[in-house]
Structure 1
Amino acid sequence: MSELQKSFAKSRLAKLPLQPPTGPSMQPLDEEVSHDDDSSSTSSTGTIVPSPSRQLFARPGRGSVQQTTLPWTDYFTQELYLTQIDTPNNTKITHHVYLTPPADSSSPLFVMHHGAGSSGLSFAACAGEIRKIIPKAGILSIDARDHGSTAVTHASDEDGGEGIELDLSLETLNRDLVFVVRETQSRMGWESLPDLVLVGHSLGGAVITDVARQGELGSKVLAYAVLDVVEGSAMDALQSMETYLMTRPSRFPSITSGIEWHTRSRTIRNKTSARVSVPSLLYEDPNSPDPTKPWIWRTNLSATKPFWENWFVGLSRKFLDARGGKLLLLAGTDRLDKELMIGQMQGKYQLQVLPEAGHFIQEDQPAKTAQILVDFYKRNDRSALVLPPKVADLQASAAMKKGAGIGAGAGAGASAGGLFKKI
């Protein structure tokens, strides 16, 4: 290199900054947060970039953007605690629900039921997206018993529920959902229920299908949507459920580490949704045997094993037989069983597939899920239907037109005759 080239290189290097540049394009992977993660579950080439500046395997700091929790008030306007006394079993169930009431009597109410181990906040991000499309729509998202903030205690004991046998049978969850909807109506002072669209994910799909099939909410149920559960694949998945439960962490050092596990394991693929839903899945155990990991699961999924088969047996037939519009939203067509494949070919229900989502469709793709649910509601909205006139009305209208035609013809003929005479 000549002296002139060396001099030029030194002058250029002197102008460069001492520290590497920082900015949005240089943020660590964990801080790149989008509200709706559209990355495919089968390809990670868009997210894994082996560059030192990306800090791919660095543990996020306490102030990391995506690990901070989001409050439920960002998505719902209020919460309700609804008390139910089960006299035969001498138990008191305090149902907890998240609610955004419909703006008026003509607006729909989307009733959401989560899956096993989740909570009502599993639908938080999706609820926010629905309200963006239909600002007047109402959302009611429940915490099932022994999930979230819904508690079961002895009716005579306010301090605890020790000794109460776990009851998560489909029949019990059916009664709970009907009670919550009716009690919400009473608490809010609604003269009648608004038009209902029932939406259930996984176990919740089995519950809302059973409610629709039983018809206990009457004609107010316009339609129901089942998210990523069908009988055949659900029964097959139960064989590996215990193995899955053994492999997931039983305790966490903090809420943020729980959020991190959900997103890094791709259990929930949308960071924003994980930030609002995961905190409701954990609670801090004051008597933790490991003080470094005091946060444990609110719902003991292993204890629900006796009910697994009860949830899903007969689901496909009930889904096809229940009254109202039907939507099945799946993460992959491979989840369809034979009965549903035949029903789909016969046009008995609407099928939508979101292959870019995982099992938690409403959390992974809240905006797309919301748009599908809104379109589904609009297709089944009775107020938008133009009904054909009654036969009696058609006959009366035809008679009136016939009489008017005769009179008009006579007048026209007389006028024409007078004209011809003049000519």
Structure 2
Amino acid sequence: MSAFGRDFFKAKLAKLPAMPPPPLGALPETLEELDMDMEDDPPDVYDDNDDDHHEAPLDDSSSASSASSTSTIIAPPTSRLELTARRRNNLEPIPWTHHFSENIHLTPSSHPSSRFNAYYTPTSASGPLFVTHHGAGSSGLSFAVLASEIRKLLPDAGILSFDARGHGGTRTSDDQDFRLSTLSDDLYNAVTAAHEQLRWETPPPIVLVGHSLGGAVVTDVAKRGLLGDKLLAYAVLDVVEGSAMDALQSMQSYLMGRPVGFASVNQGIEWHVRSRTIRNGRSARVSVPALLYDCSGGVVGGGSSSAGGDGPVVSTGGGNSRPWQWRTDLGKTQPFWQDWFIGLSRKFLEAKGGKLLILAGTDRLDKELIIGQMQGKYQLLVLPEVGHFLHEDAPEKTAAALVEFYKRNDRSALVLPKKVWEM
């Protein structure tokens, strides 16, 4: 090529735009540490002015995510700093109002010293009421995104998700009494108080849904027959007796390994997602704020997602550098751990009502449940690629399973043939 030709092409190349930034995997490690995993935190930015933003799941696993939508064009970030800023925006808490109609306080007439903080969306027509019970250390907002997904599939359904004693905004005369019988009575008292305060003309059919410790509680309520014929069915999420008892041996190590506090609510959300404790960033942004309180005297729950309480359950200190502390001291629940799970499999199989067990892996099944499943005593569903908080990691799939489970057990759709003397 002649010298004239080389000069011509050099001049043309100089006018071309700069090369795009390198892919995320090629960024320096120090910058990567500032970002969240793309799998859990997609680049959609939460907009407080978008009332309908929560209708579109924010996790990549959903077919409805913006990344998989053919009608949405996402421009690549123009710089690494902008990419980091956009991701940090996705750590902002999401208010409970995006998933529930009301935040109510239930005070049973038989226990006036108790006040159960609950998140509620009423039923319509003759729809069922899904009553949820969270696991140890969690709160009623653990079911927030799941509640919205249930309502998408079954608009007539209602959801009542309350904080257990010693959790969230619930206050009782003894917030350190975590005996299984006490927690079961609390669930019954919360439902009874809802009936009284919300003035239900006819109590709706109830489907109990419990995660982890909550699974043991709803099973105990079903076994004891506390709700009578109003209990239509119950579902247990990722807890069985055998694996739960084995996991108790490593609980102390887990508690010692997690942070004692956080500099901000956003940092708490980030830790839950980056550690894959909760693998769905959308759910973490609404559920995590209720797990923390500001020991320096700030607003409970970060202001964006109120836990509905008057103050912290426990105070573990931590200084000014980490003012956001855990609301529930899980270490104080240790004396009750075995009481929660001993005999769980037997009670689950023997209690009356439809039964659904959703697990994150078949390895969690113990011998008694394997035999029961082979005998067709309950419905089993295994969700792959989720963690222990499966209802937060995969709310769409969990909601579809629960709605189908309700429809299979719905008595109102059952038409019995007339008796001989009625013909």
- Structure 2: which amino acid aligns with 1:37? D
- Structure 2: which amino acid aligns with 1:351? L
Higher helix share: 1
**C-alpha deviation, 1:326, in angstroms:** 0.4
- Structure 2: which amino acid aligns with 1:82? L
**C-alpha deviation, 1:39, in angstroms:** 5.1
**C-alpha deviation, 1:199, in angstroms:** 0.3
1:73 to 82, 97, 119: 97
Structure-2 residue corresponding to 1:102:
123
**C-alpha deviation, 1:10, in angstroms:** 2.3
Contact 1:31 1:64 in 2 (8 A): no
Q: Output the CA distance in 1 between the equivalents of 2:256 and 2:110.
A: 34
1:132 to 130, 152, 161: 152
Q: CA deviation digits over 1:187-213, x for unaligned, max 9?
A: 111122101110000000000011111
Q: SS where residue 385 of structure 1 aligns?
A: coil
**C-alpha deviation, 1:7, in angstroms:** 3.7
- Structure 2: which amino acid aligns with 1:311? W
1:323 is the counterpart of 2:346: no
1:238 to 235, 238, 248: 248
Structure-1 residue corresponding to 2:227:
217
Q: SS where residue 67 of structure 1 aligns?
A: coil
Matches within 5 A, 1:15-414: 15-18=15-18, 20=20, 29=38, 30-32=41-43, 35=57, 37=59, 60-61=84-85, 64-84=88-108, 92-104=113-125, 106-153=126-173, 166-286=176-296, 288-393=317-422, 396=423
Q: Output the CA distance in 2 between the equivalents of 1:60 and 1:360.
A: 27
Contact 1:38 1:356 in 2 (8 A): no
Q: CA deviation digits over 1:119-155, x for unaligned, max 9?
A: 00000000000111111210000100010111235xx
Q: CA deviation digits over 1:385-414, x for unaligned, max 9?
A: 232332434xx4xxxxxxxxxxxxxxxxxx
Of stretches 308-317 and 278-287 in structure 1, the one that deviates more from structure 2 is: 278-287
Q: CA deviation digits over 1:299-336, x for unaligned, max 9?
A: 00000000100000110011101111100000000000
**C-alpha deviation, 1:17, in angstroms:** 2.4
Distance 1:126 1:183, change over 3 A: same
- Structure 2: which amino acid aligns with 1:332? G
Distance 1:8 1:35, change over 3 A: farther
Consecutive unaligned residues in structure 2, runs of 5 or more: 45-55, 63-76, 298-316
Q: Output the CA distance in 1 between the equivalents of 2:138 and 2:79.
A: 32
Q: Output the CA distance in 1 between the equivalents of 2:156 and 2:166.
A: 31
Q: Output the CA distance in 1 between the equivalents of 2:19 and 2:160.
A: 51
Contact 2:236 2:356 in 1 (8 A): yes
Contact 1:325 1:349 in 2 (8 A): yes
Contact 2:210 2:218 in 1 (8 A): yes
Distance 1:304 1:19, change over 3 A: same
- Structure 2: which amino acid aligns with 1:377? Y
Consecutive unaligned residues in structure 1, runs of 5 or more: 41-51, 154-163, 397-423
- Structure 2: which amino acid aligns with 1:168? F
Distance 1:100 1:392, change over 3 A: same
Q: Report percent identity of matched pairs.
A: 59
Q: Output the CA distance in 2 between the equivalents of 1:77 and 1:229.
A: 29
- Structure 1: which amino acid aligns with 2:387? G
Of stretches 3-12 and 220-229 in structure 1, the one that deviates more from structure 2 is: 3-12
Q: Output the CA distance in 1 between the equivalents of 2:277 and 2:285.
A: 13
- Structure 1: which amino acid aligns with 2:149? E
**C-alpha deviation, 1:23, in angstroms:** 12
Q: CA deviation digits over 1:167-193, x for unaligned, max 9?
A: 011100001000110110111111221
Distance 1:53 1:332, change over 3 A: farther
The number of residues matched between the two structures is: 367
Q: Output the CA distance in 2 between the equivalents of 1:36 and 1:227.
A: 22
Contact 1:39 1:356 in 2 (8 A): no
Q: Output the CA distance in 2 between the equivalents of 1:340 and 1:82.
A: 35
**C-alpha deviation, 1:279, in angstroms:** 0.2
Distance 1:14 1:381, change over 3 A: same
Of stretches 214-223 and 60-69 in structure 1, the one that deviates more from structure 2 is: 60-69
Distance 1:214 1:293, change over 3 A: same
Q: Output the CA distance in 1 between the equivalents of 2:103 and 2:395.
A: 21
Q: Output the CA distance in 1 between the equivalents of 2:334 and 2:184.
A: 18
Q: SS where residue 115 of structure 2 aligns?
A: strand
Q: CA deviation digits over 1:324-349, x for unaligned, max 9?
A: 11000000000000000000000000
Distance 1:12 1:139, change over 3 A: farther
**C-alpha deviation, 1:36, in angstroms:** 5.4
- Structure 1: which amino acid aligns with 2:121? T
Distance 1:4 1:266, change over 3 A: farther
